[in-house]
Amino acid sequence: MNDIFWMGEYGTYVWTAYSITLFVFGLNIFMTYREKHKIKKLLKTLRDEST
């Protein structure tokens, strides 16, 4: 278990690179779905105003 965590002497570099990658993926998903919900909300507001 310790070997997997430390990865020889490169653990810090490897885990940092993977953590940043996961963060960027998460951020992209968050931004994409936030934009989607904003647009859907806007369209619903426009529909309510017109009726």
Q: By the criterion CB under 8 A, which residues form the site for another protein?
A: 4, 7-11, 13-14, 16-18, 20-21, 24-25, 27-29, 31-33, 35-36, 39-40, 42-44, 46-47
Q: Least Å distance between CB 34 and another protein? A: 10
Non-local CB neighbours of 48 within 8 Å, separated by 6+ positions: none
Q: Least Å distance between CB 37 and another protein? A: 9
Q: Is the dihedral of CA 17, 19, 20, 22 positive or negative?
A: positive
d(CA 51, CA 47): 6
Identify residue 30 by its one-letter amino acid code: F
Q: Least Å distance between CB 31 and another protein? A: 8
